[in-house]
Amino acid sequence: MVCTFRVHLFSGCWNFFCGNEIVMSKKDLKILLLVFTIPFALLGVYGVFAIVYAIAVFDDSMTLVVERCFLSPDGNKKAVLYQASGGGAAGWIHHSVAILNINDSLDESVFISERTVFSKRCCDSVDVNWENDSTLQIRYIKEDEYCVYKMQENGGMINVEYFIK
């Protein structure tokens, strides 16, 4: 048996057919509309909260924390050991080394540039040492084959040497 719901716009009559015609009263119509309207309204409110939550949790900002600066022997450059983190609740952490001029400061552009010569995901330790004015040595623990994110041999005019502890 096929049932249909029919609305007469001009007469204001609402009909529900299931074999025999049943005329709905205005009270029944209001109840029917509430039954269908309230769940969709609640879904809309839930959707707004879900979007706000997603924006707050899945933050794409980055935080840089300087752990230590190492001045070159001639005093013209500095190697900055820093921690970069971000990503909100499912975040990430990198221990990184950047070679900067003595007056340069650390910012987000340094992390993605060639000035960051070494970057390793969350790790135990990274040691930095200037061998001379043009050679920087970095020692690190290699937990697995994917632990090093970036390892650059040349930092501008500075040669970078890597050693595994």
- For the chain, the domains span 4-57, 62-164
**pLDDT at site 1:** 52
Select from 134, 144, 86, 141 the least CA-distant residue to 118: 141
Q: CB of 139 within 8 A of CB of 148?
A: no
> Running along the chain, 165 residues long, what does each successive block of 10 average in pLDDT?
60 59 67 77 82 68 88 94 80 88 89 88 82 92 77 82 87
pTM of the complete model beyond 0.95 = no
**pLDDT at site 10:** 58
**pLDDT at site 69:** 94
